Structure 1
């Protein structure tokens, strides 16, 4: 949110500039790395996204809607983790355990059985349990229907405009759909949630005996890039999180996160077949790491100065910059000259401006592709001598006004005394 000074002025300007200082185009024109062609993949919809900035590195029908299947459970986990504490408990209703499709994935929860939210999230993300998804929904929102509405609303708040949820598990419904781009945005939010990332990164987990089941439930991670025991040839050491999905109508769906060399990549593939499920994602990750080189935009690479105004008089200036570096990815054929920035700024700030206040937005693009927006914060405040003079003048004005008020009340008091004295004399 903008600070109060932005609201007061309500005047925004947009300026297009080239990156300066550390990324001066005159210093380096083109980066030195090999040309790697985009991969050919089987999935009908796909996206490769930079996890830090949201920059799209590859897309195929990225905004076309498909059925998500069990990757729906990523949004289920995100919504639940925002509302529930891991130590909370869930007691499963008859509807939660019996309303799921016969033969679909579950961990055999029973009506009236109680487990912790933490255990439920493991069952949801590792074993793709549909009964658990229902229980989580009811615990969070009171009903499956209300929970699905929250899922959709929170997805749209992340920018997933072409996504709609009607259930928390992903079993087939023609009104439940998403896009590769939207699922990338959802996973990008999830990777900041360490609880969920840790759960997805596990290969095995045990749910202890409950009030209705005496045995331990053993869960295994179903994503083969994470679980080496599933398939050593598919396993990737750099994959830290992910979720699989499948229904007859959706085909195979997959969302996967890779972390390597200080970079985080998110790959989404929709409506593919079993034979190409993991090979498509492998191709996307290899392309992302081999075809792009990172360029860091430092806070000092963009500094904007705005005047500070008080009663239409300039009393100082504020220096605005990024709070932290922004990493951009360039591919062969692109140069630093292709990086541009636009700023949305007020014409001036007021005397209420404070350090680290957000006072503008920086919009970064590479070529015609908009990468994202970042806040510009006040990192330096400098006031002129006139501010002290104005402060002293204001102090004198306040003292003068106070003196006038005192005089006024003395006058009123005198009049009252005279009137009372006069009235007393008439009757006595």
Structure 2
């Protein structure tokens, strides 16, 4: 009996040990499984996070007065022009954006938000004029057609009529002096058809062809932070420029004998091919001898006004043998001229 009891006790101890080992084994398996589950969950979280777009450093874009879409230029922002500290102007400009350059030395004498993206308004007509003359002669004749109806109701006009026949030079006068949006579309449509080599190309497609060349021209000149959508500069999504780019374009206008002659004129009388007689006055009050803003040194260039761009003017003046270009953007009707006058007077005091 004693031997049986001893054997029974031994068997009981073995069974307890076996159960304990099983419990330890099961706990170990559970712990390993929990760790594996935790690792897998962490991996899934990281995978999800990695699948999200990495944050891109925010690019600062200053819009002028109103919020609107500039579109994607595909270009890096231009670096602010380096100020010529030895000849820097001491002047208080009220406009949102402004820049003054010496066109002979390319030195920047003043700048205020000069590389901010802004709406060009009718100052865009400078690049329209330059592009037209790349493909047309000033003496070429053009007949105004249905394209003059493509403009907005509140547009500035040269009051072209369907059937008017006039030269490219006369259309450029109608474009630059009274700032005719109808002249802009007549030039753009006809030049676009000439570029495409298709006289029957629809007007809208002709505009697209022309505007492609406008933007090519701007980039060639060095105005790399601009995108023009319509030939008259009327506010449009995806359309933008900078004061600095406009100064570059203005310099090219001064280098063109046809455009520089037109923009320096305050009043122009013309008799068109179809016999119509017109007289246009320049919207640039700096050229108006009867205006308090008149300055005899001024030789152009172009005004503009739009809801997004405000009142603007790109002016040029010859002072002490040097040509200066001043872009004043995002201002008011009168302040744009006053800012320009203050800049001219400051240059004279140097």
TM-score normalised by the chain length of structure 1: 0.57
1:173 is aligned to 2:225: no
CA distance in 1, matches of 2:341, 2:334: 13
Q: CA RMSD in A?
A: 1.7
Map of 1:280 onto structure 2? 339
Map of 2:101 onto structure 1? 49
1:53: how far off?
A: 2.4
Q: Deviations over 1:288-318 (max 9, x none)?
A: 3433xxxxxxxxxxxxxxxxxxxxxxxxxxx
Structure 1 contact 36–290 (Cα < 8 Å) conserved? no
Map of 1:264 onto structure 2? 323
Map 1:159-238; keep pairs closer than 5 Å: 159-211=222-274, 215-229=276-290, 231=291, 233-238=292-297
Larger Rg: 2
Structure 2 contact 286–295 (Cα < 8 Å) conserved? yes
Gapped regions of structure 2 (runs ≥ 5): 1-85, 194-205
CA distance in 2, matches of 1:113, 1:191: 28
Q: Among residues 97, 100, 123, which one is paired with 2:151 in the alignment? A: 100
CA distance in 1, matches of 2:181, 2:89: 40
CA distance in 1, matches of 2:212, 2:272: 33
1:238: how far off?
A: 0.2
1:74: how far off?
A: 0.6
1:37: how far off?
A: 5.9
Q: How many residues align?
A: 253
1:249: how far off?
A: 1.7
Map of 1:111 onto structure 2? 162
CA distance in 1, matches of 2:221, 2:273: 37
Structure 1 contact 57–288 (Cα < 8 Å) conserved? no
Map of 1:15 onto structure 2? none
CA distance in 2, matches of 1:287, 1:105: 32
Q: Which runs of 4+ in 1 moved over 4 A?
A: none
Map of 1:129 onto structure 2? 180
TM-score normalised by the chain length of structure 2: 0.69
